[in-house]
Amino acid sequence: MTAASGRRSTGWRSSWSKPGLALLLALLACSSAAARSWSSYRLGEFYDVETVTDPVIRRAAEAVLWFGNATGFVVSPDGYILTNHHVYQSFGTRGTVWRHWTSRGYRQSLDVELVTASRTYDVAVYRARASGLPFIPLRTTSARIGEDVFIVGHPNSRAQEVSFGRVLATGLVIAGRPSIEYSAQTWWGSSGSPVCDRQGRALAIHWGWDAEGLSHGRLTGVPFDLMARALPPIAQLAGAGGAAGSATPVAGTPASSGTGSGSTSGSAAARVRHLGLGVPVRDTLARTGEHHYYRLEVPVTGEVAIALEGTGAADLDLAVYRWYATGQLRRLGASTSPGAREALRLERAEAGTYLVIAYSYQGASAYALRAEQPRPGGGAAGGAGGSVVASARGQLAGAGGWRAWSYRASGGALRLELDGPPGSDFDLYVFRLTAAGSPELVAHAASPAADEVLSLRTTAGTTYYLVVHSARGAGAFQLRLVR
């Protein structure tokens, strides 16, 4: 949909430009598909763990943990856990993680405490006071170029998904750490994921991508065969087949190879605090990657507006989840525009509990976070007033279907309203192109309902790509942009 301020446009753009094709690839990379075996996967895609039938992958998934905005995994039945050092820097020395969070809910929450950490190998060891946990054994034989691997994690902080690929290179040193490269897909939130072989053994821990252009591709992890030689705690965990040996928790005293700074505020960020309707809270996100959790109680069904207001040049983000009485978490939406201010609006939020996350994508900032319920009882999308500057209608044939439009913004705040067919689950995504021409997800709304609403702070002259996607169901929809 290409539209100018004050004029409606309902035209469908049937031919894709190069940016449009890149956007489609990004959307596919961010969306779960269905794979049933090693022979049916497509490179670059994520798959809902619940759709995968391979017993090795399903067993490994039982041991994978959600760290709030990253991934970790259990490596011993008595509760030893691995994630990245850079995850520890934002998570802190203690906090709560969720085991085996899938599209059907999660198995259990675990309170964890730091044991040790290494900046050089980008690894942190935590321990949960639990026993009998499912775990992923560590493999200390070298990875082989061409061997199959899979990665289970939480890309973009979604419920567990798996990707498939092969080892592409070994013996690399990237950003000062030994690394291997593979083709299995990852995304923001995949940090700390296990890179597993066909037997379900973790041969590496995923840490990021090659920003230096030294490898054949981009996706990289630190192999455990080299890590175990350098770090005694890792050697103990691997050599004892999951038993931690003499390792004991020393929370707040990480390994001498480097820990970052400010662990006290990181620990505080791992606590879930209270956010009351109409009562703003103020705090500070002290560093890049730090995140704060808030529990929000909504007493009656109706519209809920959540706003995050930071200061300065920091880039803060906002996300909200439905937190069911069963313990299941369902991501409803996120606002990730550039800058220190974000806003989300849930058009018809059910009465119940919600998890709100304020997160520093880049920089430090004091902030105010507030939640309001201006219209208890809800109402139709678009009822909040404003001028419709563009609109489009379309139809999706079923789950996995999508349609997309481009919109060149004139700047300022916009509200996007999607009305889907009853009984369906339609979602809304907003992308833009970076200076390098690659697509970047700016915001999305993905509640289990047919209708979605999100607020977007736009930059004048920037072209945004709006995508309507069916997670479930088929039928006609309408998309409106309201100023």
Q: Please tell me whether residues 151 and 247 are part of one structural domain.
A: yes
Q: Assign residue 187 a region: left if phi > 0, alpha if psi is -120 to 50, beta otherwise?
A: beta
Residue 308, in any domain of the structure: yes
Quote the pLDDT of residue 367. Answer: 95
Q: What pLDDT, in 10s, does the model give residues 333-378?
A: 778 777 889 988 887 788 888 989 888 877 899 999 999 887 554 4
Of 115, 6, 10, 5, give the one whose Cα is nearest residue 478.
10
Percent of the chain with pLDDT over 90: 26
Q: Please tell me whether residues 21 and 99 are part of one structural domain.
A: no
* 8-state DSSP, 391: E
Q: Please tell me whether residues 306 and 436 are part of one structural domain.
A: no
Quote the pLDDT of residue 407. Answer: 84
Q: What pLDDT, in 10s, does the model give residues 128-172?
A: 988 889 999 999 999 998 899 999 999 888 889 999 988 888 888
Note down the domain range covering 14. 1-30+387-483
Q: Please tell me whether residues 234 and 86 are part of one structural domain.
A: yes
Residue 36, in any domain of the structure: no
Quote the pLDDT of residue 212. Answer: 56
Q: How confident is residue 326, by pLDDT bands cut at 50, 70 and 90?
A: low
Q: Please tell me whether residues 373 and 245 are part of one structural domain.
A: no
Of the ranges 143-147, 173-177, 180-184, which one carries the lowest mean pLDDT score?
173-177
Q: Please tell me whether residues 364 and 309 are part of one structural domain.
A: yes
- The CATH number of whichever domain residue 9 belongs to comes to 2.60.120.380
Among 379, 397, 430, give the residue marking a domain's end: 379
Residue 35, in any domain of the structure: no
Q: Please tell me whether residues 128 and 191 are part of one structural domain.
A: yes
395-408 residues labelled b (16+ CB within 10 A) or e (exposed): ebeeeeebbbbbbe
Among 357, 379, 401, give the residue marking a domain's end: 379
Residue 371, in any domain of the structure: yes
Of 167, 217, 206, 246, give the one whose Cα is nearest residue 64.
206
Of the ranges 8-12, 143-147, 303-307, 356-360, which one carries the lowest mean pLDDT score?
8-12
Average pLDDT, the chain: 77
Among 261, 293, 328, give the residue marking a domain's end: 261
Q: Please tell me whether residues 418 and 305 are part of one structural domain.
A: no
Quote the pLDDT of residue 362. Answer: 79
Q: What pLDDT, in 10s, does the model give residues 227-268?
A: 988 888 898 888 644 333 333 222 222 222 222 222 222 333
Q: What pLDDT, in 10s, does the model give residues 13-23?
A: 333 333 344 44
Number of domains comprising the chain = 3
Q: Please tell me whether residues 149 and 66 are part of one structural domain.
A: yes
Residue 7, in any domain of the structure: yes
Residue 22, in any domain of the structure: yes
Of 413, 285, 301, give the one whose Cα is nearest residue 354.
301
Quote the pLDDT of residue 197. Answer: 95
Q: How confident is residue 307, by pLDDT bands cut at 50, 70 and 90?
A: very high
Quote the pLDDT of residue 30. Answer: 44
Spatial contact of 369 and 358, defined as CB atoms under 8 Å apart: yes
Q: Please tell me whether residues 216 and 349 are part of one structural domain.
A: no
Q: Please tell me whether residues 312 and 182 are part of one structural domain.
A: no
Rounded to whole angstroms, the Cα distance separating 457 from 332 reads 19
Q: How confident is residue 127, by pLDDT bands cut at 50, 70 and 90?
A: very high
Look at 99 and 156; give whichever has higher pLDDT.
Answer: 99
Quote the pLDDT of residue 206. Answer: 96
Q: What pLDDT, in 10s, does the model give residues 406-461?
A: 888 888 888 888 888 888 888 888 888 767 665 677 777 777 678 888 888 888 88
Rounded to whole angstroms, the Cα distance separating 290 from 309 reads 16
Amino acid identity at 91: F
Quote the pLDDT of residue 114. Answer: 93
Spatial contact of 80 and 127, defined as CB atoms under 8 Å apart: yes
Rounded to whole angstroms, the Cα distance separating 84 from 63 reads 16
Q: Please tell me whether residues 243 and 297 are part of one structural domain.
A: no
Q: What pLDDT, in 10s, does the model give residues 39-83?
A: 777 777 888 898 888 899 999 999 999 998 899 999 998 899 999
- The CATH number of whichever domain residue 142 belongs to comes to 2.40.10.120
Residue 475, in any domain of the structure: yes
Quote the pLDDT of residue 9. Answer: 32
Residue 428, in any domain of the structure: yes
Q: Does the pLDDT of residue 112 top 70, yes or no?
A: yes
Quote the pLDDT of residue 32. Answer: 46
